[in-house]
Amino acid sequence: MAMHVSSACFSVFSHRRVHKIRAVASENVTTEDDKVKLGGSDLKVTRLGIGAWSWGDTSYWNNFEWDDRKMKAAKSAFDVSVDAGITFFDTAEVYGSRASFGAINSETLLGRFVKERKQKDPGLEVAIATKFAALPWRLGRQSVITALKDSLGRLGVSSVELYQLHWPGIWGNEGYLDGLGDAVEQGLVKAVGVSNYSERRLREAHKKLQKRGIPLASNQVNYSLIYRAPEEKGVKSTCDELGITLIAYSPIAQGALTGKYTPENPPTGPRRQIYTPEFLTRLQPLLNRIKEIGEKYSKTNTQVVLNWLIAQDNVVPIPGAKNAEQAAEFAGALGWKLDTEEVSELRSLATEIRPVTGFPVENL
């Protein structure tokens, strides 16, 4: 899961400012040396990925509607990301699916975008990550393989780079982990991971896969400057200890850290229940400091908070891009690094803010 920001965040920029952001993206085209290995696997991905939660979704994003204009914007987000050298994309079988009241499956769109791009650039290598939904009626290892093959069909590929358990199941978790191992051995995936796993579950999953000689590559969790539960609950330190990469979804707190929202202009829809005017008032001192640091590096708030995560090491943020402007801005988080003092200062300022609510399944 990853956050997504509406295109309105760019309304505060002049046309000149947008061009500057695009230039930053083009200057920071990534190379093979800019990639990182996911955990102990052989899979290398860019230091920042793109989340595709909003693509096709009408239950949480896109103002509960989907049309050709939004689809073209998503396609532009994909192309601009690739142009900037960002080739790691995260999706899931439930994103945009009918089961989640979506309009079109995010996997279907991502597969279509990759295929169209490869027609122009046959040598393009894209790392696709998708996820298995641990629904209560899915039992046993075969359910994982069956769901994975369905995902491969929607994506139009024979294998994916990373397959993850989207959340812990109410039951059946042992079988799900067996299924991940089977997927690796059958050549359907290059690496496997989990998502929304606590420290205890993470250790159990790592141990079980390790017995088969398969590394647990990643744990995808909600992690941002103002949501540091992975630090506080031992998930981040466990990832570091066991050599598991932490993939951070909602890395800019669903837009709250961009500076777009104010107490007078809170987000609309479900996010308004989390990022209330009262919370946004408490957030302003931190946002002001982020802006000051950004001016030092000629970076936006968004680029600073994404770089704060990248600077943690062993963290790959995956902000969600709805359009080309957002994708270009995200690319500007690469190619530079906050210093240690700035990383510590921002964390210290953020600790004065009461944490926002995370994704509920992380507490299962």
Which residues are known catalytic residues? 95
Which two tokens mark 213? 């000689």
Choose among 75, 76, 72, 71: nearest CA to 57: 71
Q: Residue 195 pairs with which residues in a beta bridge? A: 220
Burial environment of residue 256 by CB neighbours within 10 A (0 to 12, 13 to 18, 19 or more): buried
Helix H or strand E encompassing 76: helix 68-83
- Helix crossing, 15-27 with 324-331: angle to 10°? 50
Give one word for 32, left, alpha or beta, with left for phi > 0 and alpha for psi -120 to 50: alpha
- Cα-trace Rg, the chain: 19
Separation between Cα atoms, residue 185 and residue 179, nearest integer Å: 10
CA 61 – CA 328 distance, rounded (Å) = 20
The CA–CA distances, whole Å, from 183 to 135, 179, 291, 309 equal 18, 6, 45, 30
CB-based contact 72:270 (threshold 8 Å): no
223-242 burial string, b = 16+ CB within 10 Å, else e? bbbbbbbbeebbbbebbeeb
Q: What are phi and psi of 249, to 5 degrees?
A: -95, 165
